[in-house]
Copies of this chain bind each other. A is one copy, B any other.
Amino acid sequence: MSSSQDHTYQRGLDILAQIDKENYQAIVDSFKHSPAPDLGRLAVEFNYGQLFSRPGLDLKSRLLASVAGLTALGNTQQLRFYINGALNVGWTEEEIVETILQMIIYAGFPVALNAIFTVAQEVFESRRARRDGNG
């Protein structure tokens, strides 16, 4: 591994730590025993070290764009991480709900209903539970 790639990887980890300080290491580690052990490094380097770290758009706006795009695509599994991250960098629950609802225009009600009921509701509740000391 070259020092340049190490630098990109480290920059990616730093951004992941800003998005989800508590869980990012577990996510990166989850790849280790998967059939694609180096996919974690690839994803950290490219997605966070190269794309999220580009200077032209601030991290907060990038997370809103992520929630919008994943909702429109109907991809609820990755959405969980990004809704959590969007709350961590300063978006309110209401702003996230509105971002999801707006996707109704472009992708229809079903993807928005799935995002609200199977992801947002659970993320919001689990954060509330943890904040209240039950999590």
Chain B residues whose CB sits within 8 angstroms of the CB of A105 once the complex forms: 46-47, 51, 66, 108-109
What separation, in Å, do the CA atoms of A78 and B113 have in the docked complex?
9
Q: In the bound complex, do residue B47 and residue A109 qualify as a contact, i.e. CB atoms below 8 Å apart? A: yes
CB distance from A65 to the nearest CB of B (A): 4
* A129 within 8 A of partner (CB): no
* A43 within 8 A of partner (CB): yes
Q: In the bound complex, do residue B110 and residue A70 qualify as a contact, i.e. CB atoms below 8 Å apart? A: yes
CB distance from A84 to the nearest CB of B (A): 14
Chain B residue nearest in CB terms to A93: B35
Q: In the bound complex, do residue B51 and residue A104 qualify as a contact, i.e. CB atoms below 8 Å apart? A: yes
CB distance from A95 to the nearest CB of B (A): 5
Chain B residues whose CB sits within 8 angstroms of the CB of A4 once the complex forms: 2-5
A106-B66 contact, Cβ under 8 Å, with A61-B99, A73-B73, A116-B36: yes
- Would you give 19 A-B contacts (Cβ < 8 Å), ordered by A? A4-B4, A30-B117, A34-B117, A35-B93, A35-B120, A35-B124, A43-B109, A54-B98, A56-B92, A56-B98, A57-B95, A68-B69, A68-B72, A69-B72, A73-B107, A74-B75, A77-B110, A107-B107, A108-B108
